[in-house]
Amino acid sequence: MIEFIAGLLILSGASLALLAAVGLLRLPDVFTRMQASTKAPTLGLGCLLTALLLLDPTAEALIRAVTIEAFVMLTTPVAAHVIARAAARTGAPLWVGTLVDERPVEAGHIDPHPGVDSAAATRGPKPARPVE
Amino acid sequence: MLDLMMQAALGMLALSGIIALARVVRGPTIPDRVVALDLLGVLAVCIAVLSAVRTGSRYFLDVAIVIALISFVGTIAYARYVEAVGQA
């Protein structure tokens, strides 16, 4: 029975990884692809590690499994944030169906709503003049 | 039964790796390729964990930890490089 549950967890973990890969292939721009490829594999890895712990319930396996999952859960969002910032600053193209983009217009990207001065709302206060 | 399930899961993970490699080859911008390489790192961790389940050896879990560490550092380095070069 335990083995059957572990097998189901392994299959669902691998299915989540496959889902992430399909999303990476099919989604239209880099930000949506990132959305698919960072969240699903983290859960899939959690399923695989749970199956491992069901089949091998020892302290050594538990310590390593918790370390792996905690590390992946901590670092994947950080890596995704850094890649997204690099993509946004280098002007990666957005999907044509994008509705909201709150970045300032002068950053050199596609403005989804031309005519609306979204830059004025996000530009912030002017820097103070230097003291003479 | 369990071994069949694990073989099917390994096949699915290999297929995911092939699809991610296709995105690495096709990806119109450099950040696309970096995202695909990041996914390949996580897939390598998954395969290492599955190998630990199949063989019953815990050394594969240490391998998974090391792969996760190196993949994170590599992704950060690639992102910094993309930002410094300034081309999408």
What is the number of CB-based contacts under 8 A between chain A and chain B? Answer: 180
Spell out the domain ranges in chain B. 2-85
- 15-44 of A, contacting B, C-beta below 8 A: 15, 17-18, 20-22, 24-25, 30, 33-34, 37-38, 41-42, 44
CATH number of the domain located at residue range(s) B2-85 in this protein: 1.10.287
Cα dihedral A26, A31, A36, A40, rounded to 10, equals 160
Chain A residues within 8 A of B23 when measuring between CB atoms? 24-25, 33
What whole-number distance in Å separates Cα of residue B28 and Cα of residue B30?
7
Q: Average the pLDDT over A83-103 and give the result.
A: 82
pLDDT(A121) > 50: no
pLDDT for residue A108? 52
Q: Average the pLDDT over B47-56 and give the result.
A: 92
Q: Which of A123-127, B12-16, B61-65 has the lowest mean pLDDT?
A: A123-127
More confident residue, A90 or B8: B8
pLDDT(B23) > 50: yes
